[in-house]
Each structure stands twice: as structure tokens, then as C-alpha cells.
Amino acid sequence: MRIILGSASPRRKELLGAMGYEFEVLTADIDESYPEALENEAIAIFIAAQKAKALLPYLNTKTDLLICADTIVCLENEVLGKPISPDDAKLMLRKLSGKTHEVFTGVVIQNQEQKNSFFDRTAVTFKNLYDSEIDYYVDHFKPFDKAGSYGIQDWIGMVGVEKIEGSYTNVMGLPTCRLNEEIARFIR
């Protein structure tokens, strides 16, 4: 079986590789906007499905398996996407400081005959972050490709996250335990 990861994310590549799978990477430049009526996990699944739709023509055989994902950060029903500037990143982290937010990853897994989509949710609680910590993180780690302006595997995750409820790898961008179960369903 040929597995295709429809993502340029270094974290998703790292996680899928750590799961023991050999895979190829294909990406598609898609519009990541979504209908206003969607909320939380529905947004993540919608964007993952848009990625899969764009890459579906690259599946060559019935055994090719495509995996696409999208991760969003929600704070009190506000979606915090990828920051557009250092100031935007710092603003997002100030919003997250001292609060619990939710991370949703939507995943679409499909071959030419079947398709499944699912999501995972993780609650992440940040301690009260000092402005100096936020400035240091943004200036040194440049989290501009990360939803919510942070990577839990980065420095800020080590010093700023008080607790998580749910999958750690989901926060990184790929809920590996659930994904492994879904891949097994396609293999059987």
C-alpha cells in the first residue's frame, strides 16, 4: 500500500514517520476559508476535506491511501488561525495566557473506494504567561505556521502549558492513536 500524506507540515511528517509508516508527501495550495456557519471540529474536517479533494486525482491505484489533516485552535468559540505577523502572534498568545482552549484536528483518510473523516479534541491550559516569555518565544521560534501561534513541542509548550486533556500528538497536528486505528481499517 502506498500512503500519501497530504501535508507539508514537518510535525505531521515526523509523527507519521514515528508511527512506523513509509509515505510520500503531496501538497495542494487550497483556499483555507470555510463557511461561517461551521464551528470547531467541523471547520477542521472541512479544510482537511478540501485538501483531500485537491489531491484525490493523484491516487493511482485502489491501494493508494491519502491522509489529509487540518488543526485549529479555539478559544471561547473564536478560531485562532496562523498569525500574520509577530504582533498578531503575540496577541494570540496573550489571549491564550491563563486560559484553557481547545485544539481540534480534522482528518480525512481515503482511497479510491472509501473515505472516512474524523476529528480529535484536546483541551490545553496555559499558565499566565509573562510578556517577556511571549516576546522571547515569538522572536526566537517564529510560530507563524502554527494555529494559535504556538507549537506544544516547542519551548512555550515546555514552560507555559500547565496541563492537557486528550492527545498530545493531536495538538502537534495529527492524532496518532486514532489515525493508526483508521489506517488499520483500510488495510484489513
Q: Provide the annotated active-site residues.
A: 70
Spell out the long-range contacts of 129-135 with Cβ–Cβ below 8 A and sequence spacing 24 or more: 129/93, 129/94, 129/96, 129/97, 129/98, 129/156, 129/160, 131/94, 133/159, 133/160, 134/90, 134/93, 134/94, 134/97, 135/90
Q: Alpha-carbon distance 71 to 73, whole Å?
A: 7
Nearest to 71 by CA among 188, 176, 173: 173
Strands (E), 31-84: 65-75, 78-80
